[in-house]
Amino acid sequence: MNEAQTLNNVSVEILNKEEFNADYFGDGRYLIGLGGCSDYGNDDDLGLGDWAYQFEVLVTNKDGETQQFTIVYQPVERNNGMMNYSGYGITTAGSYGNDADMASELERFCDYDTIVLDTLHEIAAGAAKIEFERLMKLFRNGEIESNQDFVL
């Protein structure tokens, strides 16, 4: 996605995007146990720990109204034993009580057209995959430890 784009007659401009990892959060939970939920070649049963990807976007809806939103993505919590989880799946952080995330407000503002959120999700998901693969390489090289005792 370019920094400014029109999607389904909704204009979105990414003002800022920023990745936060365990170094930022300060507790060192880079990789955490998934409680048996991993799949897709993730034999170590690990997933991203403390990680988030935040966007500041300026959106103009179909009615011509413009508003700024903060959208935050974080790892999906998986502890129900269901498979098909890569270790870097993400969702909007408001799902877990992050008050900074305005995904619900953005959905309402866009008359429940999710194309902006879907597009932002693709960007954040790509960043999550890159970070997960980087951390798994460090883990396998013995440069970081996992937090298997901490399962989401």
Spans of all domains in the chain: 4-142
In the prediction, which pLDDT does 15 show? 96
Q: Are 94 and 20 in contact (CB under 8 A)?
A: no
Q: Are 9 and 65 in contact (CB under 8 A)?
A: no
In the chain, % of residues over pLDDT 90:
47
pLDDT tens digits along 50-73 = 889 999 999 999 999 999 999 999
pLDDT tens digits along 34-54 = 766 665 545 567 888 888 999
| Predicted TM-score (pTM) of this structure | 0.84
Give the C-alpha separation, 139 to 110, whole Å: 41
Give the C-alpha separation, 108 to 117, whole Å: 12
In DSSP terms, 90 is beta-bridged to 75
